[in-house]
Structure formats: C-alpha cells, structure tokens
C-alpha cells in the first residue's frame, strides 16, 4: 500500500457510511498520529492497537445515531503535495471541522499549528 493516509480516511468514511461501530486500520506512525488528533478533538471514541498489526478504531455517533464527523478529504496527495504557511491556515467549515498539518514539530490540528505559528504540509480536512 502506497498511501496509508488515504487508506485510513477511506476506511473511516466507509465505516461511518455503513454505520459500523468499529473499524480496523493498519498500524503506521502516521495513522497513529492522525487517530491521536481525532481522539483529542473528540471525533472518534477510541483507538486501540489490536492483533495482526491492526488498530481497532471505535467510531463516535450522536445520540440520534448521526455520526460526529461526516466527511474526510485528503488534500496533500503523494503526486501533488500541498504546503501552507501559518498565516494561510483557515478554519474548516467555519470552525466546525479541523485540518491536520504535518509540521516540523509533528502532526497537529490546524488551529494548534496556527497558534504556534507553524506551517507545513496540509494532510487532510475533516468535518
């Protein structure tokens, strides 16, 4: 598999569309970091490393059964990288979503990167 981030986002999107409670994704450093950010932002319930080098992700739903997040968009792709300076980081869906940025200090949400005045590669947008 060449693009593990796109695979993670596709699995999350498919799991939410199918109303699954949990999904499994392969273990990579990038996957762990993205899932850590999603858990911190309360977009997923939990992620636990399970058997066979897979992470079991527990998806989060509202009380009425609607998913907490509905869209995962990969911005920077392997064939066309997208870099942004700190002053160009904009809120996603008027602050209802987040963007994930790979900075020199590691992966972080767009709001945190902007507050630290760090730019970097715009990995994805989630709302």
Pairing of strands 106-109, 22-26: unpaired
The band of 68, judged by pLDDT with boundaries at 50, 70 and 90, is very high
Q: How many domains does the chain have?
A: 2
More reliable by pLDDT, 51 or 82: 82
Domain shared by 122 and 78, yes or no: yes
Do 43 and 78 lie in a common domain? Answer: no
Q: What is the pLDDT of residue 87?
A: 97
Note whether 55 and 78 are same-domain residues: no
Which residue is it, tokens 């994704």?
25
């Amino acid at each position: 598999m060449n693009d593990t981030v796109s695979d993670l986002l596709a699995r999350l999107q498919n799991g939410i569309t199918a109303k699954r409670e949990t999904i499994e994704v392969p273990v990579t450093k990038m996957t762990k970091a993205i899932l850590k950010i999603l858990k911190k932002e309360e977009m997923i319930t939990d992620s636990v490393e399970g058997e066979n080098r897979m992470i079991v992700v527990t998806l989060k739903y509202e009380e009425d059964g609607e998913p907490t997040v509905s869209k995962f968009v990969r911005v920077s792709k392997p064939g066309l990288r997208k870099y942004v300076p700190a002053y160009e980081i904009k809120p996603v869906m008027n602050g209802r979503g987040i963007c994930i940025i790979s900075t020199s200090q590691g992966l972080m949400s767009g709001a945190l990167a902007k507050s630290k005045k760090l730019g970097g590669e715009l990995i994805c947008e989630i709302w």
